[in-house]
């Protein structure tokens, strides 16, 4: 419902955010191109750019010589070194942290490989917070952190970043987001999202999904998750727990047991353990293990090849169901499913041809994630950037203010 | 992208449409209540109501005595007799047509039961156009038809209402919407939608789904279709062909053949033929046949009961998959699936309990369609009303103008 109020002020904020988003996602861009893409006239673009420049979010430069005559349009660039976020990615076998500049540049990064079992909240948050503080401390003077985002391999309550269910790490109702925020001590809240949701957002904004309004992203870690973009937006459902395509039943008769307690879930039939069991490779583990099986199949190993065909057939059923349901333009295989797709694309395509309605598959394409293993981390960074893109000047002003003074003021507001 | 332009004018049109929608969907409502619901002040409501009243879309009346002291707030009512749409519903075994007044009142209605095979475009359009002209001719003088909508049991191209695929009637690429528009001769375009999409919209706006932002509607006719509301909007996908939940593979091993050419689709396992085969009732057909099997099971017929348990188990797998994917607040069983649900609710609930992630089923409810067999027809009417609700004054002015003059003017515009 549009309310009578301050439409001019809201439009200005909206346009500032939209311009900053263009520069953040599209990279250096001329004022002329911005005017064209945003449907605004040049003088409006100039005014908006001036505001963002004086806030230190973008800068304007003369473009490199292009050989054309006449005065060139100034190019607007994100202030990537000055304005950044911290992004974290909690995978089953690895913790990743990065400092990411406006525009999406990874300025700094840390990784810790870890044992699969027994990592509790305290351990994980301890490692991530230490990484975060190191990277924040290494930022150049005058630069400013405008957000913190984290991807986690489990079901996340959107409001407070609580991990409701992280089966592969044995977490139930752990206050991950709140705890990480406290341990970082930056005075910033931590936004947390499901890793596959964030991988989908990242591929949609910066990867192979750019320009698609409807896409399905399947993410393989140890389990299988999903992120589905419907009409340009992530499908979240009533509680934020949508897109659990890994728990679609594909094998109702003699299905393998799944970590969720059910049987025959897509995750149980195409997850890494299903592959290792089918290939008779009990000693393997993780992304490297999956790669080894696919390499063996390509090298002529019959058992490995049959294992991949079996996995590909189950995966194909799942993909066919998803195309019938979502009529997407694109299906993306991310995480370890990139390897699986390399080894079983033919089976997946066969299932799509056999089981998807002709009209629903007229225009769909199947692709692997363009951002590779970084899709989920990049998604965490984009989650962290979302506030400053929604309201650039105010969020930057808050982030730049003395945090202790800020807390004092917040306290006064609360108690008065 | 918000453009600089005429924000006041756009806001006025938006608010007029929003107010008319309140009255259309919610029924008679006081100005005070409108002000509260729309977050606008009373003087704005009064001005908007005055415009809609003078256009003849609503009228204001004193409410009935409520026993309270003081001056009562005027009640705003839709002009149901004066402003109407024509709605059509093409089911496999029946053609339905109705004249529906603003506010959703069915003012007039016609039905033709028909043989299942062999109805071609010309037959169907002929019957519907005749019904439409009869009902339009019966409308009181001074009343105005503001739209035409139709629900069809097949895949529809949104732009022009072409039936791309109607397997149960053997239609492929038939220009249904255009042809019906010509044969009606009212000078109005015909909007066509898939029956299950429209059933979902109807239940969302006027049925058991009111207030739900995420719901799954399963519709059984001869086949099984779906309409899924994601974040308050119908999931349509890239081409408008989304929600084909009837072609989700649930039985990959010994699945029954499906009308789509595949095997083991939800539709093949839970459609009416699957039920009649499982119950050993080859002579039955249609909604009455399904009802007979469910009645027999309730009366103690063991074969009928086992047939329903089998169907309910497959349906439960489909429903579980959909809850995991969509995290909806509500799953609705419509069309003949209302009967199936009555006969196999226990099996469906068992599958949901066994196969849906605990967190994803925390708040979901399973219900039957509140609008009963009229859900798809009501959806067709709402599709027809959508234009006048988006832009009340202009659409009404166009509909009221002399249609021949209007066509002449359109021709002039095109050729100049």
Provide DSSP, A130-156. Answer: HHHHHHHHTSPTT-EEEEEEEEESSEE
Query: What value does the mean pLDDT take over residues B43-68?
Result: 88
B202 in reach of chain A (CB within 8 A): no
> Between A191 and B222, whose confidence is greater?
A191
Which residues of chain A are within 8 Å of residue B327 when distances are taken between CB atoms?
236-242, 244
CB contact under 8 A, A355 and B155: no
Q: Which of B217, B244, B256, B316 to mutate to test the interface with A (most CBs of A within 10 A)?
A: B244
Query: What value does the mean pLDDT take over residues B27-55?
Result: 95
Which A positions 291-330 lie with beta carbon below 8 A of chain B? Answer: 317, 320-321, 324-329
Q: Is pLDDT of B414 > 50?
A: no
φ and ψ at A29, to 5 degrees? -150, 145
Q: Please report the pLDDT score of residue B410 as a whole number.
A: 45
For A210-369, CATH number out of 3.10.180.10, 3.50.50.60, 3.30.420.40, 3.20.20.70 equals: 3.30.420.40
Q: Which residue of B has its CA nearest to A213?
A: B238
Q: Are A234 and A281 in contact (CB under 8 A)?
A: no
By Cβ distance, the residue of A243, A250, A325 closest to B245 is: A325
By Cβ distance, the residue of A213, A253, A324 closest to B253 is: A253
By Cβ distance, the residue of B4, B231, B242 closest to A327 is: B242
Q: Is pLDDT of B15 > 80?
A: yes
Which residues of chain A are within 8 Å of residue B214 when distances are taken between CB atoms?
237-238, 242
Alpha carbons B330 and B322: distance in angstroms, whole number: 11
B106 Cβ contact list (under 8 Å, min separation 6): B98, B99, B100, B374
CB contact under 8 A, B1 and A18: yes
By Cβ distance, the residue of B4, B252, B359 closest to A251 is: B252
What CATH number is given for B83-197+375-415 in this structure? Answer: 3.30.420.40
Alpha carbons B288 and B290: distance in angstroms, whole number: 5
CB contact under 8 A, B238 and A324: no
B252 in reach of chain A (CB within 8 A): yes
Q: Where are the domains of chain A?
A: 11-65+72-78, 83-197+375-391, 210-369
Nearest Cα residue to A161 out of A171, A173, A175: A175
Gap from A359 CA to chain B (nearest CA, Å): 8
By Cβ distance, the residue of A7, A38, A252 closest to B317 is: A252
CB contact under 8 A, A15 and B3: no
Tokens 């991807």 -> residue: A151
Q: E-assigned strands of B5-68?
A: 29-30, 58-61
B151 Cβ contact list (under 8 Å, min separation 6): B87, B88, B89, B90, B192, B193, B194, B195, B198, B199, B376, B377, B379, B380, B383
pLDDT tens profile A172-187: 999 999 999 999 999 9
Helix (H, G, I), strand (E, B) or coil at A158: coil
Query: What value does the mean pLDDT take over residues B307-318?
Result: 98
Q: Is pLDDT of A408 > 60?
A: no
Lowest mean pLDDT among B23-32, B116-125, B234-243: B116-125
B256 in reach of chain A (CB within 8 A): no
pLDDT band at B168 (very low <50, low <70, confident <90, very high): confident
Which B positions 121-150 lie with beta carbon below 8 A of chain A? Answer: none
Tokens 């001329």 -> residue: A30
CB contact under 8 A, B244 and A41: no
- Under CATH, what is the fold of the domain B7-78? Arc Repressor Mutant, subunit A (1.10.10)
CB contact under 8 A, B244 and A320: no
B239 in reach of chain A (CB within 8 A): yes
pLDDT band at A290 (very low <50, low <70, confident <90, very high): very high
pLDDT band at A403 (very low <50, low <70, confident <90, very high): low
Q: Please report the pLDDT score of residue A9 as a whole number.
A: 86
Burial of A172 (0-12, 13-18, 19+ CB in 10 A): middle
Alpha carbons B246 and B154: distance in angstroms, whole number: 12
Which residues of chain B are within 8 Å of residue A324 when distances are taken between CB atoms?
244-245, 247-248
Enumerate the H helices of B89-120 as residue ranges. none
Which residues of chain A are within 8 Å of residue B354 when distances are taken between CB atoms?
262
Q: Please report the pLDDT score of residue A69 as a whole number.
A: 65
CB contact under 8 A, B321 and A249: yes
Q: Are A342 and A294 in contact (CB under 8 A)?
A: yes
| Structure tokens given for B59 | 């009228």
> What is the four-CA torsion angle of A399, A403, A409, A413, rounded to 10 degrees?
60
What CATH number is given for A11-65+72-78 in this structure? Answer: 1.10.10.10
Alpha carbons B386 and B397: distance in angstroms, whole number: 15
Give CB contacts under 8 A, 24+ apart, made by A232-235. A233/B231, A234/A197, A234/A200, A234/A201, A235/B230, A235/B231, A235/B325, A235/B326
- What's the DSSP call for residue B312? H
Which residues of chain B are within 8 Å of residue A327 when distances are taken between CB atoms?
236-242, 244
Gap from B409 CA to chain A (nearest CA, Å): 30
Burial of A228 (0-12, 13-18, 19+ CB in 10 A): buried
Q: Are A346 and A312 in contact (CB under 8 A)?
A: yes
Nearest Cα residue to A351 out of A246, A254, A266: A266
CB contact under 8 A, B325 and A244: yes
Enumerate the H helices of B236-332 as residue ranges. 266-270, 272-278, 286-298, 302-326
Nearest Cα residue to A392 out of A79, A55, A75: A55
Q: Please report the pLDDT score of residue B118 as a whole number.
A: 62
- Under CATH, what is the fold of the domain B209-370? Nucleotidyltransferase; domain 5 (3.30.420)
Helix (H, G, I), strand (E, B) or coil at A160: coil
Nearest Cα residue to B231 out of B210, B215, B242: B215
Gap from A274 CA to chain B (nearest CA, Å): 18
Alpha carbons A378 and A200: distance in angstroms, whole number: 10
Supply the mean pLDDT for chain A.
92
Query: What value does the mean pLDDT take over residues A80-85?
Result: 97
Q: Is the dihedral of CA B395, B397, B403, B409 positive or negative?
A: negative
φ and ψ at A175, to 5 degrees? -80, 65
For A83-197+375-391, CATH number out of 3.30.420.40, 3.10.129.10, 3.40.50.720, 3.40.50.1100 equals: 3.30.420.40
Q: Is pLDDT of B244 > 70?
A: yes
A71 in reach of chain B (CB within 8 A): no
Query: What value does the mean pLDDT take over residues B311-316?
Result: 98
B228 in reach of chain A (CB within 8 A): yes
Task: Determine the angle formed by the axes of helices B7-26 and A7-26, rounding to 10 degrees.
Answer: 100
pLDDT tens profile A33-69: 999 999 999 999 999 999 999 999 999 998 776 666 6
> Is there a shared CATH topology between the B83-197+375-415 domain and the B209-370 domain?
yes
Which residues of chain B are within 8 Å of residue A230 when distances are taken between CB atoms?
230-231, 235, 237
Gap from B338 CA to chain A (nearest CA, Å): 21
Provide the percentage of residues in chain B whose pLDDT is more than 90: 83
A270 Cβ contact list (under 8 Å, min separation 6): A220, A224, A311, A314, A315, A318, A337, A340
Q: Is pLDDT of B147 > 90?
A: yes
Gap from A248 CA to chain B (nearest CA, Å): 5
> Between B69 and A325, whose confidence is greater?
A325
> What is the four-CA torsion angle of B184, B190, B194, B199, rounded to 10 degrees?
-90
Nearest Cα residue to B329 out of B366, B357, B355, B358: B366
pLDDT tens profile B340-396: 999 999 999 999 999 999 999 999 999 999 999 999 999 999 999 999 999 999 999
By Cβ distance, the residue of B14, B41, B260 closest to A2 is: B14
Q: How many CB pairs under 8 A join A and B?
A: 175
Query: What value does the mean pLDDT take over residues A355-371?
Result: 96
A214 in reach of chain B (CB within 8 A): yes
pLDDT tens profile A196-253: 999 999 999 999 999 999 999 999 988 999 999 999 999 999 999 999 999 999 999 8
Alpha carbons B145 and B401: distance in angstroms, whole number: 11
By Cβ distance, the residue of B239, B249, B325 closest to A355 is: B249
Q: Please report the pLDDT score of residue A190 as a whole number.
A: 98
Query: What value does the mean pLDDT take over residues A255-282?
Result: 95
pLDDT tens profile B266-298: 999 999 999 999 999 988 888 999 999 999 999
| Structure tokens given for A222 | 């140890």
Cβ–Cβ contacts within 10 Å for residue A8, how many? 10
Alpha carbons A184 and A170: distance in angstroms, whole number: 24
Which B positions 356-385 lie with beta carbon below 8 A of chain A? Answer: 356-360, 362-364
A233 in reach of chain B (CB within 8 A): yes
A192 in reach of chain B (CB within 8 A): no
Gap from A305 CA to chain B (nearest CA, Å): 21
Q: Please report the pLDDT score of residue A413 as a whole number.
A: 41
> What is the four-CA torsion angle of B400, B404, B410, B414, rounded to 10 degrees?
170
A14 in reach of chain B (CB within 8 A): yes
Gap from A220 CA to chain B (nearest CA, Å): 16
């Amino acid at each position: 419902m549009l309310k009578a109020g301050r439409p001019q002020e809201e439009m200005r904020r909206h346009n500032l955010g939209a311009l900053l988003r263009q520069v953040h996602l599209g990279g250096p861009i001329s004022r002329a191109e911005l005017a064209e893409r945003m449907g605004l006239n040049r003088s409006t673009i100039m005014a908006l750019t001036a505001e963002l420049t004086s806030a230190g979010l973008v800068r304007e430069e003369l473009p490199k010589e292009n050989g054309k005559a006449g005065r060139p349009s100034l190019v607007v660039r994100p202030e990537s070194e000055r304005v950044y976020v911290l992004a974290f990615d909690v995978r089953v076998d690895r913790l990743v942290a990065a400092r990411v500049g406006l525009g999406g540049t990874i300025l700094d990064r840390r990784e810790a490989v870890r044992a699969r079992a027994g990592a509790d909240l305290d351990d994980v948050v301890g490692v991530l917070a230490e990484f975060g503080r190191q990277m924040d401390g290494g930022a150049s003077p005058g630069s400013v952190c405008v957000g913190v985002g984290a991807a986690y391999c489990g079901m996340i309550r959107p409001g407070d970043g609580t991990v409701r269910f992280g089966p592969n790490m044995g977490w139930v109702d752990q206050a991950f987001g709140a705890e990480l925020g406290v341990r970082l001590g930056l005075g910033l809240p931590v936004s947390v999202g499901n890793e596959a949701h964030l991988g989908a957002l990242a591929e949609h904004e910066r990867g192979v999904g750019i320009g698609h309004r409807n896409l399905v992203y399947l993410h393989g870690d140890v389990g299988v998750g999903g992120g589905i973009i419907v009409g340009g937006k992530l499908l979240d459902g009533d509680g934020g727990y949508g897109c659990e395509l890994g728990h679609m039943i594909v094998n109702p008769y003699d299905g393998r047991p799944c970590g969720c307690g059910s049987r025959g879930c897509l995750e149980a039939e195409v997850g890494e353990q299903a592959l290792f069991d089918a290939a008779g490779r009990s000693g393997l583990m993780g992304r490297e293990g999956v790669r080894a099986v696919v390499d063996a199949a390509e090298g002529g190993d019959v058992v490995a090849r049959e294992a991949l065909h079996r996995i590909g057939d189950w995966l194909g059923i799942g993909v066919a169901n998803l195309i019938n349901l979502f009529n997407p333009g694109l299906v993306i295989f991310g995480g370890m499913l990139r390897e699986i797709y390399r080894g079983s694309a033919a089976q997946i395509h066969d299932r799509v041809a056999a089981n998807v309605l002709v009209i629903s598959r007229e225009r769909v394409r199947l692709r692997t994630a363009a951002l590779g293993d970084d899709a989920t981390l990049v998604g965490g960074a984009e989650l962290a950037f979302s506030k400053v893109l929604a309201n650039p000047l105010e969020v930057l002003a808050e982030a730049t203010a003395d945090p202790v003074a800020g807390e004092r003021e917040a306290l006064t507001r609360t108690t008065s």
